[in-house]
Structure 1
Amino acid sequence: MVFEVFALVALVVGVGARPETPSYSPPAHPPPSYSPPSPTYNAPVHPSPSYNAPTYNDVPAQYSTQYAVNDDYSGNSYGHQEDRDGYKTQGTYYVQLPDGRLQKVTYYVDGESGYVAEVTYEGEAQYPAYQPAPSPSYQPAPSPSYA
């Protein structure tokens, strides 16, 4: 019990001796003074470009092009031909259809009428009679012989 009384007295004395506010004493010499330099905002001076922007002559388009594909193995046959002189264009494209006919589109374009096309077909459509594929016959694999 004596120890408990001693511990209680030591606690009361420790709390009573504690200062309520921390004490602070200023340093013996004054803090250094600093005044930052005032900023200057001089925009960099760039020289004006020493070249002139390129000029292009406004020349109307003028060309002629064509291509053709004829693949006997796959049956693909198609092509295109076009001529242009300024705002006037004329051409033809064609494709071999699966029914055997050749579809041909002839067109022209000018500034007044826009795109004008004429579609024609050459040949007679062929529709072969339907023949079902033979049904597969499955035979069991031969058993291995271990002779």
Structure 2
Amino acid sequence: MVFKFQLVLLTALLALVSADTAPLYGHPAPPPPAPAKYDFNYAVKDEYSGNDFGHQEARDGYDTQGSYYVLLPDGRLQKVTYTVIGDAGFVADVTYEGEAKYPEYKPPPPAYA
């Protein structure tokens, strides 16, 4: 009985190993993916909440350039212009427009009387 089981198992394994794999390997490899190429931008300016920010970027292959800006709580506008060229890394130039303004601090009145 054990011999018959081993014979059936061996026959099944041989059938799997000798299966026709030509359809799997007969097709040519797919072409490599095309290099990334895109361009986008957006901007938000909300007078009610004071939000003012935006971003734009363009990429062609491994070369990327872009910029973004944001209105800081102190009233200055921060602008960042950046480039990425291949493996050279991320290179950013950060600038600020305007002068920082801080409101005068007024401590709250004491809660006890």
Q: Flag the structure with higher helix content.
A: 2
Structure 1 alignment gaps of length 5 or more: 1-35, 139-147
Flag the structure with more relative contact order, 1 or 2, with Cα contacts below 8 A and sequence separation at least 6. Answer: 2
User: Is structure 2 residue 68 aligned with structure 1 residue 93?
Assistant: yes
Structure possessing the higher radius of gyration over alpha carbons: 1
The residue that corresponds to 2:23 in the other structure is 50
User: Which of residues 65, 71, 76 in structure 1 aligns to 2:40?
Assistant: 65
Q: CA RMSD in A?
A: 2.6
Give CA-to-partner distance per residue, 1:97-142, whole Å, 9 cap, x none: 110001000011112642211110011111111133455689xxxx
User: Which of residues 32, 56, 73 in structure 2 aligns to 1:81?
Assistant: 56
Q: Give the alignment's TM-score, normalised by structure 1.
A: 0.58
Q: Give the alignment's TM-score, normalised by structure 2.
A: 0.73
Q: Flag the structure with higher strand content.
A: 2
Give 1:94 shift. 1.1
Structure 1 segment 1-147 matched on structure 2, within 5 A: 36=1, 38=3, 39-40=6-7, 41-42=10-11, 43=13, 44-45=15-16, 46-48=19-21, 50-51=23-24, 52=27, 54-111=29-86, 113-133=88-108
Q: Percent identity?
A: 51
